[in-house]
Amino acid sequence: MPRRLLIALLTLVLTAPALLAQPPQQNEYVPIDQLPPQETMPAAPLLIGAYIVVWLGLMGYLFWIWRRIARVETEMQALQRRTSGNGR
Share of the chain above pLDDT 90, in %: 42
The full DSSP string for 23-79 is PPPPSS---GGGS-GGG---HHHHHHHHHHHHHHHHHHHHHHHHHHHHHHHHHHHHH
Cβ distance 32 to 40 under 8 Å? Answer: yes
pTM exceeds 0.75 for this model: no
Residue 32: partners with Cβ closer than 8 Å, 6 or more residues away: 40
How many whole angstroms separate alpha carbon 62 and alpha carbon 56? 10
Model confidence pLDDT, tens digit, residues 4-33: 888 888 887 888 777 777 777 777 887 877
The domain spans of the chain are 42-88
